[in-house]
Amino acid sequence: METFFRRLSLVILVALLVGTAQARDDGRYSLSPLKPWFDSLKSGKGPCCSVTDGLAIADPDWESKDGHFRVRIDNEWIVVPDDAVLTEPNRAGRAMVWPIKGPSGITIRCFMPGSMT
């Protein structure tokens, strides 16, 4: 019985580690003039770009509802935590989100509203 629990614990640990692995900066934007700015972005949840890559979101895929932002990722609307919202001016122009996909679903690390043009 003890062996069963050890194996089960190992399987759970591996599943958690695989589920929390995220993309990292692969260097393709290293010469972009906005790279230092992106690297400096932080929300109340911590640095944005150090954990996961940001995604540009089209205007129909984000909105403000009931005083909170929501984003649509993989056809699912996700409420953005207030402490994940970046309040500084958006130098990229488009809405950006830094999602983290884990075993319990998608959470939002950072969100930057766009200009809705």
Interval 39-61: pLDDT, tens:
899 999 999 886 567 899 999 99
- Domain that residue 51 falls in: 2-112
Say if 117 falls within a structural domain.
no
- Under a CB-based contact definition with an 8 Å cutoff, are residues 116 and 106 in contact? no
CA 117/CA 96 separation, integer angstroms:
14
The single-letter DSSP state of residue 75 is T
Question: What is the number of domains present in the chain?
Answer: 1
CB proximity list for 88: less than 8 A, separation 6 or greater: 41
CA 78/CA 38 separation, integer angstroms:
23
Mean pLDDT of the chain: 78
CATH of the domain at 43: 2.40.50.180
DSSP H helices, 1-117, are 2-20, 35-40
Interval 2-14: pLDDT, tens:
554 444 343 343 3
The partner residues of 63 in beta bridges, in order of sequence, read 70
Residue 107: pLDDT band (50, 70, 90) is: very high
Say if 16 falls within a structural domain.
yes
